[in-house]
Amino acid sequence: MDNATYEKEWTRPVHRIGRITLLGVCITSFLPIAYLYFMYGIVPPIDWVITDIVLITASFGFIWLIEPITFFPVLGTIGSYEAFLTGNIGTSKLPAAAVAQDITRVEPGSKEAEVVSSLAIIGSTTTTVAFVCLGAIAGSAILGALPPDVLDAIKAYVAPAVFGALMVTFTVKFPKVIPVAIGVPLLLRLFAGGVIPGYLYIVFTLVATVIAAVLLYRGRIKDDKPETPLQEAESISED
């Protein structure tokens, strides 16, 4: 597919649908507040609202800029719309997209990767919704039967386990980068813990890891790009 066709048939519809969908979610998220106000006259004081907005922006505002930039190379355009619409990006959508691209051996940032990422996130979202429904129905009974120590372990270690499994996948492909990816946040934690905010850990680690990957795998990135399934099929047909 040439770039013009791809832009017309994929990119433009994605942006159009994505913008409409996200705008619709932003509007409908205010419906419960509107219902409480118009039906019962309940509305928080304006100074509370302003204070909360300032506190939330100060705590998470930088992440609003960092996450779209750092996640986009893996998620792609439609994957970003899907992921930021459904949430659980770091623990669900991002690993699903990364593993799917690795399994299908598509080149990151390519058109094939964009499609693979979007399908992986759709699958992840469907699975998440299914298990959320199951959890809503049977979760209370299941969690109620578990001892408190098990519940604490689940809350504390599920996210690290997901990221650990994801790191193993990339360790096999790029083992030289792993000491940097682990060492930088560890050193920041040891020597700058409490001095710099947590979101800067992501920034420093991301920059250091990218620089290390470029320096250590410059030749591989340039000359040893993996073939996509389509390219492999074309090579076989030529042989």
pLDDT at site 151: 82
Per-residue model confidence (pLDDT) at position 220: 63
**pLDDT at residue number 20:** 93
**CB atoms closer than 10 angstroms to residue 8:** 11
Residue type, 80: S
Each residue of 104-146: pLDDT tens digit? 888 877 888 888 988 999 998 898 888 878 877 777 777 778 8
CA distance 8 to 165: 37
Per run of 10 residues, the mean pLDDT along the chain (length 239 residues) is 77 89 91 89 84 76 78 85 84 85 83 88 88 77 81 81 76 83 88 78 83 79 49 45
User: Looking at the whole model, is its pTM more than 0.75?
Assistant: no
